[in-house]
Amino acid sequence: MRTYCKRVDIENPAIVSGWIFDYLHGEKNRPPKWRRKDYQLFMVEWSCYSLGEIKLAVEYHNHNILLEICDDIAREVCARIRRRDLRLAPIKFFKRIDGISLKERDISHESIMQQIMDAVAVYALMPLFKAKILPHQYASIKNRGQVAGANKIAKWIRRDKRCRYYGKADVKKCFQSLSRRVIMRLLRRDIRKNATLLWLVDSLLSTYWRIENGKVVILGLVIGTLLSQWLCNYALSYLFRYVQGLRRTQRRRGEIREVKLVYHILFYMDDIFVTGLRAADVQSALRKAATWAKKMLGISLHDEFKILGFATNAVDMMGYVIGYESTTIRARIFLRARRHYLRAAVWLRHNKRLTLRRAQNVISYYGYFKNSDSTHIKAKLNVETIFAVAKRNVSFYTLVNYQKGPIAA
């Protein structure tokens, strides 16, 4: 049986420092974490540089200083790992209502040190994640967001004649249901030769607890942590492979052969989408998936599966409604997006520029118009013009804030 991450050394500060630098630098389309005040104060705590010096290093991209700070943090992280004592502050939790689904969710907020250790664990586990997480698992993975998933579904239903029926299911409280025991069982199977990495992940998972009514409640994975989202995708990859391998025996003209129950599978984190030739096959696949998931992963699928035909029902998933001829925006999201653009248009008639919050709202909903067939409504709402103004305004506010930072320091 193949194992992964055998030669990954998380006790080597030279390796860990590079991971920390990449994590703080952030991705291409997101602001670096070292621009945040809480991260800058953390960097002051674990380095010999003052807050003003760190702000200047961040503003002028002085990577020499930033690399030195990452080296100092890495030495502390590796020392704690070698001592087998992470010494992390308890995780705080707060409730937030999802603006789209209106569900109340418990969001975790880790200390900066734990966020960095999560990043170290994820970078160390990346060879495993790249091998196990499949191409059609979307959400929380670079270049595999809502738009990529919606485009893939559109391609399947418009080009593949085998896509006649589809089924949708989702996992009940997926993060809470995936227990530490299940995750560690899978990891011991796949990275059993790296005892230090196993210990680190197990120790981080052991911090997922909270106090409710005076009692300690042990949690599975938690929403809001980098490690949890990767481990969730990793665990669900086993369910994906199981569904992918489902077959049934077909007798045709005296011949017996095996045919797939479903031809296309897509996971959007804990939402499952499958397509097939027959409604009975799709339903059978989801029933078997539910039984297997409960037995092997300890998670449950909602009992009411949606089995629909493409001929009469478009696919409502990932914020879009995808049909044979066009892709539109989900109704609830469209109403919110339309409201923000109408309010922005009214505001611009009486003011020179948008407020920062209003500009950010306009930008956040622009992707739905851009990636759907919304030509007429875009023209009616003047989406492109308002979006261009919002971008300029956000750049203006960002520049003002950056100029204030080093001066105040």
- In the chain, the N- to C-terminal Cα span, in Å, equals 56
What pLDDT does 403 receive? 57
Mean pLDDT of 256-266: 93
> 49-66, pLDDT tens digit by residue?
999 999 999 989 999 999
**What's the pLDDT tens digit per position in 248-260?**
998 877 788 899 9
Which residues, including other chains, have CB under 8 Å from residue 223's CB and lie 6 or more apart?
105, 106, 107, 108, 175
E strands along 36-111, which residues?
A: 92-97, 104-109
Sign of CA dihedral 213, 214, 215, 220: positive
276, 263 in Cβ contact below 8 A? yes
The Cα–Cα gap between 143 and 137 comes to: 11
Does residue 244 surpass a pLDDT of 60? yes
Nearest to 223 by CA among 177, 259, 187, 168: 177
DSSP summary character for residue 253: T
CA trace torsion 106, 27, 318, 109 (10° rounding): 0
Q: How confident is the model at residue 100 (pLDDT cuts 50, 70, 90)?
A: low
DSSP, collapsed to helix, strand or coil, labels residue 317 as strand
Q: What is the mean pLDDT of residues 130-149?
A: 91
Tokens of 366: 């622009």
pLDDT band at residue 105 using 50, 70 and 90 as cut-offs: confident
- Cα 119 to its chain centre, rounded Å, is 14
Each residue's pLDDT tens digit, 337-373:
999 999 999 999 999 899 999 999 999 999 999 999 9
| Predicted TM-score of the model (pTM) | 0.91
Q: What pLDDT score does 406 carry? A: 43
Where is average pLDDT lowest: 120-134, 210-224, 331-345, 372-386? 210-224
Task: Identify the DSSP state of 35.
Answer: G
Using CA atoms, how far apart are residues 100 and 123, in angstroms rounded to an integer?
Answer: 31
Nearest Cα neighbor of 5 from 130, 89, 109 is 130
Collapsed DSSP state (helix, strand, coil) of residue 307? strand
Considering Cα of 271, then 152, then 150, then 142, what sign does the dihedral take?
Answer: positive
Cα(299)–Cα(121) distance, rounded to whole angstroms?
A: 24
For 154-189, the pLDDT digits (tens) are 999 999 999 999 999 999 999 999 999 999 999 999
Residue 28 clears pLDDT 80, i.e. is over it: no
Q: Which element (helix H / strand E) includes 397?
A: helix 383-408
When the pLDDT of each residue in the chain is averaged and rounded to a whole number, the result is 92
Q: Which pLDDT band holds residue 101 (cuts at 50, 70, 90)?
A: low
20 three-class SS: helix
Radius of gyration in angstroms for the set of CA atoms belonging to the chain, rounded to a whole number: 24
User: What pLDDT is attached to residue 1?
Assistant: 75
pLDDT of residue 407: 37
By the 8 A CB rule, do 222 and 228 touch? yes
Helix (H) or strand (E) holding 183: helix 180-190
Q: Judge whether residue 409 has pLDDT over 50.
A: no
- Percentage, residues of the chain above pLDDT 70: 97
**pLDDT of 99:** 62
**Which tokens hold the place of 402?**
């950056």
